[in-house]
Chains A and B, each alone.
Chain A
């Protein structure tokens, strides 16, 4: 399942991040990596952007980027 398919309020664990190295590094520096748990906090209209919470940090992501992150719902 993709992060972009989750709905507001869902919780999930990250399985795989399929982006280029520099974006992956940015995500890691936010604590977003394989095994991290996240909750979906908010979505903008049409899921153009998604706000997630990882380790007490709120992060804004574009839907496009979210579709490159594979997750498992918990």
Chain B
């Protein structure tokens, strides 16, 4: 079976990922409505008409001449990789701007198909697009499609086959302004007279490259003797063009020419039946959402609502899950006769993994909220609203996107920081993403706020925790900006995408993938960690200690005294275990913060994954009890064993210290080396320790 390699290129927000989904029928890619969801190129394979279609989804770029890192990814790929066809995806409702990229892509001399996406939206906006005319002007097969309604998707695939099979691409009929065309003709005539040929380029294509001072092309032509004769002709031609354009900057001239062409194509091919001057719905919504006065309060209210929802609605299924896990543990425990094995299964695995599963509802709600922000286009507005504020802290409005993603998970957040062009802005953003508490830290907060504040206040306290973390992040950003990363700021120029109704399917798939990822972590990583922690807490066995206490217990007859002795034994055994030894060894370091060794161990285990903190506490506090049924719950145990001040200091420490192992690895990769990870470790640990200490001392 032959395979066709197809590259999808297009500006951000034109629905490339969604189009791939529509074509392949699978929903493997994440789709979102803000610049830069596809940060790395993504590949999808599927079969169509007995050909294997290999689709590569490049990050959306406004241009392919490298402004941000994503544009570099796209540019390098388009220039250097082997592929058969480019599908240039355009937003039918913004043809003029999208065509600018098409003009750049045309210069690559590759086989291409234009996919005018969002045909359904164009129809709604009463735009009539003359596809045949676009095809005639550009010379590129053009298809009107809608990834949303599947319209035209099959035709698009067929055109890709046709183009891939065609022996040659068709030349375009794009015309520049008169003075430029005159000079092109002049040079073409000269080239033809000399019979000069280069690669598969036509004389016209050579002339255009010469006039627009294409650097790579000059390098290539440098060796040819014809340059000697060409040079004076080009100089004369440029002089002529300069006078017409009233500038000597060839880039400006090229830009003006391209915009004029794009405008010309749009005017010739798109008829707008909408009354001029009539505001579209996006403008109407913007009038409210980015209103000078109401914009920021609306944003804060939406965020507050999201956190309330996360906690209040999330609490309902949590009760059932909690009861279910307890019941399941008892049922399974009853089936296992062997003491050791039962302890491993019930106290180790079920307690550990169960503690993580408990928080699935909270996490799903939070992810739905973030996905809604992304897909509706509100995220870009928030960047617009907050840039003034962020800028004061040495951050960029665009930093908001990675930062808010950080509330979900730090891993995609670190990757989303690539949309920032300036290296310094990017590094500062990377360093403070950890201050945005990720979804995995949520269980810890939920647990502690639930225990120490009660259900009623927990939602508000949770909101305060998140906001405090974010504020601290901003202060740290300013500090980094002033002390470490000094220098020029990146300009703020970004598209405000149209508001779109969130598609249910889209949100479903995004949230499903993230929830599955969380569960997968619970099933593998956390399962292993739970077993390891159980082992470390149960071994080495203390036969001498056990015997000593057994004798003591036998001697006393008072029931209560017996019980307290039993608990003392359990605690002593735990303290002597491997886990206890590790905790004890590092206890002095955490003692000033009011943490006992159990909390210390939980924090250290949290370096692997934040979910493990709760499960570790679950394992550690599940051991020393059998007083009555209620005390079985971790919450009860914490209330009895941990002081308010220590608990708050613990929350502060969790808020700030290093993110999980997976996130740390991604951080090192994105920041450009492990040395940055070392900096991050020192930076976060010191900050966490100092602030925890302050919290503890104040509340004590």
- Which residues of B380-395 have CB atoms within 8 Å of chain A's CB atoms? 380, 383-385, 387-389, 391
7 smallest CB-CB distances across A and B, nearest first, come from: A48-B388, A62-B492, A29-B62, A58-B496, A29-B63, A28-B255, A60-B384
State in angstroms the CA–CA spacing of A22 and B251 once bound together: 11
Binds A, one of B95-103, B402-410, B557-565, B630-638: B95-103
Shortest CB-to-CB span from A12 to chain B, Å, is: 16
Task: Tell me the count of chain A residues lying within 8 A, CB to CB, of chain B.
Answer: 37
Q: Are A62 and B290 in contact (CB under 8 A)?
A: no
Q: Contacts A31-B96, A31-B97, A31-B259: A58 and B493 contacting too (C-beta < 8 A)?
A: no
Contact of A48 with B256 in the complex, beta carbons under 8 Å:
no
A-B contact pairs, 6 of them (CB 8 A): A29-B63, A35-B256, A41-B283, A44-B388, A56-B96, A60-B495
A36-B259, A44-B387, A61-B492 given; name 5 further pairs at CB < 8 Å. Answer: A24-B251, A34-B255, A46-B388, A53-B283, A55-B263
Residues of B within 8 A of A36 (CB): 259
Interface residues of A in 18-61 (CB under 8 A from B): 19, 21-31, 33-36, 41-46, 48-49, 51, 53, 55-61
Contact among A26, A33, A34 for B493, CB-based, below 8 A: A26
Whether A45 and B94, one on each chain, are in contact in the complex, defined by CB atoms closer than 8 angstroms, is: no
Measured CB to CB, the nearest residue on chain B to A21 is B251
A70 within 8 A of B: no
Which residues of chain A have C-beta atoms less than 8 A from B252's C-beta?
A: 24, 33-34
Docked-complex contact A42 and B286, CB < 8 angstroms: yes
Determine if B94 and A29 form an interchain contact, defined as CB atoms under 8 angstroms apart.
Answer: no
Interface residues of B (CB under 8 A from A): 11, 62-63, 65, 67, 93-94, 96-97, 100-101, 251-252, 255-256, 258-259, 262-263, 282-283, 286-287, 290-293, 295-296, 380, 383-385, 387-389, 391, 397, 491-498
Q: A33-B255, A33-B259 are contacts. A49–B492 as well, Cβ < 8 Å?
A: yes
Chain B CB within 8 A of A10 CB: no
Contacts of B287 in A (CB 8 A): 42
With a CB–CB cut-off of 8 A, which chain A residues contact B282? 58
By a beta-carbon cutoff of 8 Å, the part of chain A in contact with chain B is: 19, 21-31, 33-36, 41-46, 48-49, 51, 53, 55-65
Q: Which chain A positions have C-beta within 8 A of B94?
A: 55-57
Complex Cα distance, B282 from A4, in Å, reads: 23
B605 to chain A: closest CB distance in Å? 43
Contact: A60 with B96, CB < 8 Å?
A: no
B494 contacts A60, C-beta separation under 8 Å: yes
Complex interface: chain A residues within 8 A of B380 (CB):
60
Chain A residue nearest to B251 (CB atoms) is A21
* Most chain B CB atoms below 10 A, which of A27, A28, A35, A51: A28
Closest residue to B283 on the A side, CB-wise?
A: A41
Decide: A65 near B492, CB < 8 A? Known: A26-B67, A29-B63, A42-B290. yes
Q: Is the CB of B286 within 8 A of A58?
A: yes
Residues of A with C-beta under 8 A to B283: 41, 53, 58
Question: Main SS of chain A's interface residues?
Answer: mixed
State whether A25 touches B67 (Cβ < 8 A). yes
CA–CA, A42 and B491, complex, Å: 18
Which residues from A are CB-within-8-Å of B62?
26, 29-30
Q: Smallest CB-CB separation from A47: which chain B residue? A: B388
Of B65, B383, B384, most A-chain CB atoms within 10 Å: B384
Among A28, A29, A30, which residue has the most Cβ atoms of chain B within 10 A? A29
**Which B residues are CB-close (under 8 A) to A27?**
493
User: Does the CB pair A61–B493 fall under 8 Å?
Assistant: yes
Q: Are A43 and B292 in contact (CB under 8 A)?
A: yes
B290/A59 in contact, CB under 8 A: no
The answer to whether B259 and A28 have CB atoms under 8 Å apart is yes
**CB-nearest residue of chain B to A19:** B491
Contacting pair A44 B100 (CB below 8 A): no
Measured CA separation A32–B396 after assembly (Å): 21
Residue contact B496 to A62, C-beta cutoff 8 Å: no
Contacting pair B494 A55 (CB below 8 A): no
Q: Which A residues touch B97, using CB under 8 A?
A: 29-31, 55, 57
Asked if B391 and A62 sit within 8 Å, CB to CB, the answer is yes
Contact indicator B495/A58 (Cβ below 8 Å): yes
Closest Cβ–Cβ distance, residue A59 to chain B (whole Å): 6
Q: Is the CB of B290 within 8 A of A51?
A: yes
